[in-house]
Structure 1
C-alpha cells in the first residue's frame, strides 16, 4: 500500500533516496524496484532488521531496478535519529518521510535536517494523517493516539506548508490517499483499538482483498473519495537550486510559534 506518488516525486533510476521512518520498508521497496539507490532509516531495531531482510530478498530475486549504467540499484538500511541524520550536507536526491513526522515533537528540526541532506534542486515528500479523518479518530478513542510513540499532533494543511517553508523548502503539489482506510480506523476506534469484532474483521478482509487484487471497483471508488476523506495528506516540496540554509533565528522563530 503506497501513499507516495513516485511520478510526482520525480524519482528516477540512479538517484539516491532516503526513506525516513521507513517502518517495514514499503516505500523503500518500490523505490528500489524503480532503480533508485535506497537508504532506509528508522529508529526501531525490528523495523531496520525487517526492511534489510526484505530488500535483500528483492536483490536475491533479481527484482532490483537498474541504474542508468545498467547495474542493479543499491540499498542500505541504518538505524538513525531523524533529528540528527547521519548523512553529509547535500548528499541525496530525494527524501520520503511517510507517516512519521506526526510522531516527532520537534518536527521543524526534522524538516531542517531533510533540507540539509537534500541536494540543491532535490525534492522531498511528506505524508501525515489528514486533519478531518484524524480528528474523528482522536474524538472516538484516546487509546488511538495517547500512547508511547503515538501521534502527538494533528496537522492542518497550512501548518505543514508553513513549517516546510520555514526551513527553506518550497511546498508544491498535494493530494490525499487511502479513503477506504478512514472508515476502518473510525470503526477500530469506536470498538477499541486493541479489541476486535465481526465488523472489524470483515472490513479488514476487504482491505486485504483490495490490496491483493486491486479491482477496478474499489480503485475507482478510492480515487473518487480520496479528495473528500482520504486518510493521508501528501505534500511535495523542493529545495531551491540556489538554496542556502535557514538561519538559526529563523528556525527558532518557528519552533517558538509552535
Structure 2
C-alpha cells in the first residue's frame, strides 16, 4: 500500500532515491519496482524494521521471478538518525518521507537535513496524517497518542507547508490518500480496550480484501473521498 504517487516524483534512470523512515520498506520496494535502473536506499532508526524490509524485498523479488515479472532493482538499507544523515550535501535526487514527521519532536531538524542532502531541483514527497481524522482518533482514545514511538502532534498543514517552503522548497502538488482507512482507525480507537471487537476485525478484513482485489467500486469511492477524508495528506516539493 503506497501513500506517495511515484509518477508525481518524475522518476528517471540513474537517480538516487532515499526513503527516510522507510519502516518495513513499502515505498522502497515500490521504487525498486519501477523498472528503471536507479539506486534505492531505505533509512530507518529501527533496526528490526530494516531486517523486515530486507525480507519483504527478497520475498517480493522471488514472487516476481516465479510469475515471470522483471526482477526488482537492488535496494540498500541503512540504520541512521534522520537528523544526522550520512550523506554528502546535494547528493540525493528524490526523497520520500512518509508518515514520519508526526513521530518526531524536533521534526525541523529532519527537514533541514533533507534540504542539505537533496540536489538542486531534487524532489521531495512528505505525507502526514490529515488533521481532522487524526483529531478524532486523539479524542476517542487517550492511549492513541501515548503509544511508545507513536504520534507526538497533530500538524497544522498550512504551517508545515510554509515551514518547508521557508527552508528552500517550492510546493507543486498535494493530494489525500487512504480515505477508507480513516474509519478503521476511528473504530480501533473507539474500542481501544476491546481489541477483539468483531466490527474492528471485520473492517480490517475488508481493507485487506480491498488491497488485494482492488475492486472498481471501492477504488472509485476512495478516489472520490480522498480529497477531504483521506487519512493521509501528501505534499510534493522541489528544492529551489
TM-score grouping bracket, smaller chain normalisation: over 0.9
Does the alignment pair 1:169 with 2:169?
yes
Deviation at 1:74, TM superposition (A): 3.1
Kindly provide the CA deviation profile for residues 4-61 of structure 1, in whole angstroms up to 9, marking residues without a partner as x: 0111111233211000111111100010011331100011111111112222444555
Secondary structure of 2:40's counterpart equals strand
Contiguous gaps of at least 5 residues in structure 1: 66-72, 241-258
Give 2:39's match in structure 1, choosing from 37, 40, 57.
37
SS at match of 2:179: coil
Residue 188 of structure 2 is matched in structure 1 by: 188
**CA-to-partner distance for each residue in 1:146-172, whole Å, 9 max, x for gaps?**
122110111122111111112212222
Residue pair 1:144, 1:193 contacting (<8 A) in 2 also: no
Structure 2 match to 1:256: none
Distance across 2 between alignment mates of 1:89 and 1:74: 23
Instruction: Kindly report the root-mean-square deviation, in angstroms, between the aligned alpha carbons of the 2 structures.
Output: 1.5
1:4 aligns with 2:4: yes
| Distance (whole Å) between structure 2 residues aligned to residue 180 and residue 169 of structure 1 | 31
Structure 2 residue 56 is the aligned partner of structure 1 residue 47: no
Moved beyond 6 Å, runs of 4+ = none
Alignment pair present for 1:129 and 2:166:
no
Alignment of 1:45-124 (within 5 A): 45-59=47-61, 63-65=70-72, 73-124=73-124
CA deviation after TM superposition for structure 1 residue 123, in Å: 0.3
- How many residue pairs are counted as aligned between the two chains? 233
Rounded Cα–Cα distance in structure 1 between residues aligned with 2:235 and 2:172: 7
Superposed CA deviations along residues 206-228 of structure 1, whole A, max 9, x for unmatched, are 00000000000000000011112
State how 1:6-25 maps to structure 2 within 5 Å: 6-25=6-25
Q: How many Å separate the matches in 1 of 2:167 and 2:21? A: 20
**TM-score with structure 2 setting the length:** 0.92
**Residues 108 and 167, structure 1, Cα contact 8 Å, conserved in 2:** no
1:157 is the counterpart of 2:160: no
